[in-house]
Structure 1
Amino acid sequence: MKSVFQSASRITILANFIFLAFAVIVIRLFYLQIIQGSEYKKLANREQIKQDTIPAHRGLIYAMDGKKPIKLVMNETIYTVFIDPKVDNPKAKTEAIKLLREVAGGNLKGNIEDAFKKRDSRYEVVATKLSHKQADVIASKKNPYIGLEPVSRRVYPEGQLASQVLGFVNYEGGKYGIESSFNKELTGKDGLLKTAKDVLGAPLVIGSENIERPPVNGKNIVLSIDRNIQAQTERVLQKHMQKKGMKNGSVLVMNPNNGKVLAMANYPTYDPSKFGEVKDGSVFNNNTVTMPYENGSVIKSFTMAMGINEGVAKGQDTYYNADFIKVEDRTIKNAVLGHTGQITFQTAMNYSLNTGMVTIANRLGSNGMIDNKSRNTIYDYLHNRFGLGKKTGIEVAESTGTVIPPDKVEGNNVRYSNMTFGQGMDTTMIQTATAFSSLINGGNLYRPSLINGEVTQEGAFEKNEAQIHRRNVISEDTSKQIKQILISARANANRGGADSKGYNIGGKTGTSQTLIDGKYVDNQTIGSYLGFGGGKQSEYVIMVAVWGKNQNLQGHSDASPIFTDISNWMLNYLEVKPTEG
């Protein structure tokens, strides 16, 4: 009996042991699969799932070549070479050093032997900017130390052309110009390739872990810039700047009938493919949109148009010119003296007489003197209608400028009198040229634009339309009158006949003092010219500004010749037909 009981006891103990072991296994499996399941899945995924980024191509930037787009910014694939110093293969190391010296050559960074000594690192860059041919030679050797990474960089087939318009791309993305303003659209979106593989690298059965998301390439942007106009504008600007030793200059060319910018040139300039070599960062700025300044007498065009539109002054109306005019306790004088007596406003425009513009401001007042009524009218025209002193909406970063409202203490009668001839307010060239276009196109203020459309991924050019910001800022009749006044003013200033014959060319000079630490200085002025040209219809507006530290530059002698050279060339390039007679 005792042995039977002992046998049963042993069976029970064994059963309990098996049960306990099974329970432990179940609990362990539960712990591994349920409690720690996600962690082990992550570990497995790290070993089995390979994830690769499929880089998107940055969008190209085009300019116009007449009526068709032409590539201005392209992409090029170059290669970065890195090594893994932890690899332990003396023979391969010797071969790697020899290979890199022979193939990479001048692309090597520093002492290559030092990179191999960094045994605590798995990634050391030893060469950059290798060509596709160099990379192929290195890859063909299959050296265990060496790895290659493709890198995309921007290529500029036109060199420095329109560099401040374009901007550049560094490791952070687009900087300045179009590259910055449209960085998101140009960048696109990288794709993803995610696959599960076994230890030998063979793909496993297709499942949820296998994902392929194709890249979305960046948008291809077409600028309104015409490469031929841009190139000629830059050549003319550089020629005049260097001939006269002027330090800084900018030129803006615009189509007044749709607000499209045809050229933006700045001097000095730079090569966007070598932006890292630039020592003075100010050269990156596109001064046509970022530099507000007192335009000086070019603003008289707007004052004259305002006087015509308000019915207080026409070109042949007269006023008495004493070569000075009093506004409260200030005396405002003309720069050009001698045209005293009863003269026309056309004469005031011909000789850029400040007294004529202040007279218009006085006539806008309630009692023939500048007052709250005239200040409100001037502000309405300059700021609200013409858009001076506020952003235009152009597609690149721009400055605002300042037109002080009449309800501010600083917006007093003296300031507003000065504003009629371009002092006491500052605007950007893009603001002034855009507003000027409305004077000569019949009274429509367009939103200025640098964008002409896009080239689709299939290669089709899709053009966008011009946008009118405000209609009838002045009447069509006022536009005709101010246009003729400006033609006469230019003809009077250019008695030597520098303009091509048979065309309608008009414009206005401007010479403005420079403010330094809140005070005007005598040894530094900005010379400007703002004008238009064409046949029966005005085909272009050109604005020029030249300036430099300790340089007294004039609108007539320094800025106007730049306008003339570009204008005469434009008439030929656009094949403008001369007017009859």
Structure 2
Amino acid sequence: MQKRNTMSENPSKDKAALWRGERQVRLVLVFGGLALLALGVIARLVWVQILNAEEYQRKAQRQYEYREKIAAPRGDILDRNGKRLATSLMNVSFAADPKLVQHKDTLAALCEKVFGKPKEHYLRKLNEKTRFVWLERNQSQSSAAPLLALDIDGLIIRKEIHRQYENLASQLIGFVNADNTGISGLEKQLEPYLRGKDGFLTMQRTATGRAFPAIGAPRQEAVPGCRVELTIDADVQAIVEDELQNGVANCAASAGIGIVMNVHTGEILAMANEPNFDMNNAVTYKPEATRNRAVTDAFEPGSTFKLVIATAATQYGVVQPDEKVDAQNGRYVIQRRTITDHERLGVITFRQAIAHSSNIVAAKTALKVGKENFYATAKAFGFGEKTSIDVPGEIAGALKPTREWSAISLPWMAQGYEVMVTPIQLITAYAALANGGRLMKPFVVQRIVSPDGEVLARQSPVVRRQVMKREVADVVKSYFKAVVDSGTGKPARIEGVSVAGKTGTAQQLDAGNYHTGKYVASFVGFFPSEQPEFAILVMMINPTNGYYGSMAAAPVFANIGRRMLSTLGEAYRAKIARNLAPSKEKLFLDTVQSVVVPNVRGLCAEEAKALLRIHKLDFKRENELIDAAKQIVIAQGVEAGKRVPIWSKVPLTFSDAETKDGAQHMPLLIGLRADRALCEAGRLGLRLEIAGKSGKVVAQLPKAGERVKEGQVCVITMQ
């Protein structure tokens, strides 16, 4: 039987079939894989475009949409009459995305032309490895107009709020930083009210970096800050600052402080410090210049503290106004310590002792009053505690409890030593005397008003306590009226108005010892003395040209008072006039319709015009010059210090400020005191030789208007 062959008779056919089968499997796998991939893509598209569309839309939006802040304008700060002391203006700031700026050299050159900084300054910024860099901030739209008119890729323009100040009451109001946040004064203290609430605007960005508002996108408007209304009177504040500056220059003091208060309400009409600073250019300020020394600094008051002994002696019936007291011929020893007076007085009345500021009588009277009564009177006036004025930085001063007193503390305190008081405490105490013994809480913020007109906060006068009976206050007022009428305060007189007040001169402590060359000179008083309306404090720190309060501070008080009476409204003047005796009413009204001519020699034309307008005066030119920008006043037709009707025209003679060879023109010094002559010469860098010891300048070489150079020696004759 033949055996069957199990092998295929055609092997090539078998291989072909096998290959076809494998190919089919591969095709199935490939097409299956492609199908799965397609399904995956479809599933992903469904996930992205349908199931999770919102999330990816948000991610896409973040690539080309962003929210730009709309800065809220800070609230205005107004004076009592609605004049803006601080307001917000819309400025522009410039930034760049260096990656998108194609022509950096051109942009840097444009910035140099518009802003004034070197081209290299901007190139350094534009070459930084970042997507955002500031070029300039807070530029006015008018000054930046050339850049605003261009469309530059990568240049980012943002509108920002800029704070603009009237440059009054700089230490009181304070200022803001580059981010428009208050960092000192009322700007800082009232930040929650003033700052407002920022809004936002949704923007879209193109590939080239240009941005535009997104249509239909969310938007929130900014809410402005609240309006703050102060008790400050801008006109009175300007007067105090001007006279304080002049006073500091005249007595060569290191600093000055001035306050004006309404005695009936405690409202502060002016609070000034000299030196001050430019609030619109705060980067140039010195930190110490921002301190409001009216509330932050305490001094030994000297004789102005005799208010306490005069009140205590009267209140407790220790002495009568016309009772005879012995001033010991100007020298007296207590507990082996010598007390001296600046005048050698003998037996005088107590009223005369206060008028002539006798330290000896004050010390002897204090021993009769006793330390407990003296201390109680000082505390009643508010010394040793804060006044609670709504101004940042107030300190309490220092009034030691009686258990810490030494054997000489009482007589020395009666003279104004061993006690530290702030200027605001001192004027508040004198205002209490003027107000019939009622001690008021001082304040500067009248109202805070929301953008929609709602009054969020309001302050009204607050009586803290009755320091003394009205009858006692009337007696004590008569003492301080005598100070001005016949005593050390004569330079504080105001024509047509009776004034009451007190001079003070105190040596300053230095490392625990009294420094012979460092003094605080002060005058604090009120007017009219019969029916007082206003209290004024003037304090000079470290005066070197006449350090007594009568010389350094009292004349400044008088100048402020005179100008206030001419500036205040008719209603105030009428109220004061009604309370005067008929014989004094006409003199008062004549006085307030006239003003004292200031010294404008050495000032440029614009400065002279501005100063005269502050004094309610005009001027007429005695000569004309071509270049008005370089004119300075070399002579004035009405002598400084003379009283003339308001809006009189003062004749002024002008000359070029500087000639081609660097020479200047000699100012007119005739008629000035030595200190003012030195000041005028110092402005031009001239050296003065003085012939004669006192009086006023009666002759000068070179003559006014002659050409002089810096360092030249000039001779003046005093008589």
Query: What's the TM-score once normalised by structure 1's chain length?
Result: 0.81
SS of 2:552 mapped into structure 1? helix
Larger Rg: 2
Q: Which amino acid aligns with 1:302?
A: V
| Counterpart pick for 1:422 among 400, 416, 425 | 416
* Conserved 8 A contact 1:523-1:551: no
1:123-162, aligned counterparts within 5 Å? 123-133=132-142, 135=144, 137-156=146-165, 158=166, 160-162=167-169
Q: Does the 8 Å contact 2:323/2:349 carry over to 1?
A: yes
Question: Could you tell me whether the CA contact under 8 Å between 1:249 and 1:267 is conserved in 2?
Answer: yes
1:299 Cα deviation after fit = 0.6
Map of 1:204-243 to 2, 5 A cutoff? 212-243=219-250
Q: Distance in 2 between matches of 1:545 and 1:506?
A: 17
In 1, the alpha carbon distance for the partners of 2:278 and 2:360 equals 46
Is the CA contact (8 Å cut-off) linking 1:392 and 1:431 kept in structure 2?
Answer: yes
Given the alignment, which residue of 194, 217, 221 partners 1:186? 194
Q: Is the 8 A contact 2:255 2:542 kept in 1?
A: yes
Q: Distance in 1 between matches of 2:522 and 2:250?
A: 17
Residue 251 in 1 paired to residue 247 in 2?
Answer: no
The whole-number CA distance in structure 2 between the counterparts of 1:202 and 1:276 is 35
Paired AA for residue 420 in structure 2: D
Match of 1:344 among 327, 334, 349: 349
Letter in 2 for 1:221: V
In structure 1, the residue matched to 2:84 is 71
C-alpha separation in 1, matches of 2:118 and 2:377: 62
Query: 1:417–1:494: structure 2 CA closer, same or farther, 3 Å change rule?
Result: closer
- Compared with structure 1, are the counterparts of its residues 515 and 240 closer, same or farther at alpha carbon in structure 2 (3 Å cutoff)? same
Partner amino acid for 1:51?
A: R
Deviation at 1:344, TM superposition (A): 2.4
**Percentage of identical aligned residues:** 26
Q: Does 1:355 align with 2:364?
A: no
- Alpha-carbon distance change, 359 to 81 in structure 1, aligned in 2, over 3 angstroms: same
**Distance across 2 between alignment mates of 1:274 and 1:71:** 18
| 1:170 has 2:180 as partner | no
Partner-residue secondary structure (3-state), 1:567: helix
TM-aligned CA distance change 1:197 to 1:281, over 3 Å: closer
Is 2:116 aligned against 1:106?
A: yes
Q: 1:110 to 1:163 in 2, by over 3 A?
A: farther
**1:580 maps to what in 2?**
582
Instruction: String of CA shifts for 1:148-175, please: whole Å, max 9, x gaps.
Output: 122222222x4x4322222221136223
**Residue 380, structure 1, aligned to residue 376, structure 2:** yes
Q: 1:433–1:543: 8 Å Cα contact kept in structure 2?
A: yes
Whole-angstrom CA distance in 1 between matches of 2:90 and 2:242? 31
* 2:62 maps to 1:62: no
CA distance in 2, matches of 1:202, 1:419: 70
What are the Cα deviations for residues 371-407 of structure 1, in whole angstroms up to 9, with x where unaligned?
xxx33x3222213x21112221222223424334325
Cα distance in 1 for residues equivalent to 2:100 and 2:511:
63
Q: Are the equivalent residues in 1 in contact too, given 2:294–2:423 (CA < 8 A)? A: yes
Contact 2:198–2:223 (Cα < 8 Å) also in 1: yes
Q: Is the 8 A contact 2:492 2:499 kept in 1?
A: no
Describe the shift of the 1:315–1:100 C-alpha distance in structure 2 as closer, same or farther (beyond 3 A).
same
Q: Is the 8 A contact 2:491 2:551 kept in 1?
A: no
The answer as to whether partners of 1:197 and 1:203 remain within 8 angstroms in 2 is: no
Matches within 5 A, 1:373-522: 374-375=371-372, 377-383=373-379, 385-409=380-404, 411-454=405-448, 457=451, 464-493=458-487, 499-522=493-516
C-alpha change, 1:283 and 1:397, in structure 2 (3 Å) is same
- Corresponding residue number in structure 2 for 1:5: none
Distance 1:506 1:252 in 2: 16
CA deviation map 1:499-545 (0-9, x unaligned): 34443211111110110011111122111111111264201111111
Distance 2:105 2:355 in 1: 81
- Provide the alpha-carbon RMSD of the alignment: 3.9
Q: Give how far 1:284 is off.
A: 1.8
1:39-50 to structure 2, matched below 5 A, reads 43=59, 46-47=62-63, 50=66
- Name the amino acid aligned to 1:151: E
Structure 2 residues without counterparts, runs of 5 or longer? 1-32, 584-719
- The one-letter code sitting in structure 2 at the alignment partner of 1:52 is E
Task: State the alpha-carbon separation in 1 of the partners of residues 532 and 64 from structure 2.
Answer: 69
Helix, strand or coil: the match of 1:58?
coil
Give the AA of the match of 1:400: I
Is the alpha carbon distance of 1:461 and 1:142 closer, same or farther for their aligned partners in structure 2, counting shifts above 3 Å? same
Q: 1:413 to 1:551 in 2, by over 3 A?
A: farther
User: 1:217-275: CA deviations, max 9, x gaps?
Assistant: 11221221211111122222222322333332221111111111111222222211122
SS across alignment from 1:86? coil
Partner of 1:11: none
Q: Match of 2:316, as an amino acid?
A: E
2-side partners of 1:246 and 1:234: how far apart? 15
Aligned equivalent of 2:127: 117
Aligned-residue offset at 1:414: 1.7
Secondary structure of 1:561 counterpart: helix
**2:248 corresponds to which letter in structure 1?**
M
Shift in Å at residue 70 of structure 1? 0.6
Task: Report the secondary structure of 1:132's partner residue.
Answer: coil
Measure the CA separation in 2 of the matches of 1:211 and 1:191. 11
Contact 1:305 1:439 in 2 (8 A): no
The alignment of Structure 1 onto Structure 2 pairs a total of residues equal to: 539
Q: Which moved more, 1:547-556 or 1:494-503?
A: 494-503
In structure 2, C-alpha distance between the alignment counterparts of 1:495 and 1:402, rounded to whole Å: 26
Aligned partner (choices 279, 282, 302) of residue 275 of structure 1: 282
For the residue of structure 1 that corresponds to 2:163, the secondary structure is: strand
Deviation at 1:496, TM superposition (A): 6.8
Give 1:131 shift: 2.9
Q: Is the 8 A contact 2:104 2:123 kept in 1?
A: no
CA distance in 1, matches of 2:126, 2:445: 50
Paired residue for 1:291? 297
Aligned mates of 2:227, 2:582 — CA distance in 1: 43
Show CA shifts across 1:431-473 (max 9, x none). Answer: 1101111111011111111123246536799994433242311
Distance 1:240 1:222 in 2: 30
Secondary structure (helix, strand or coil) at the match of 1:301 reads helix
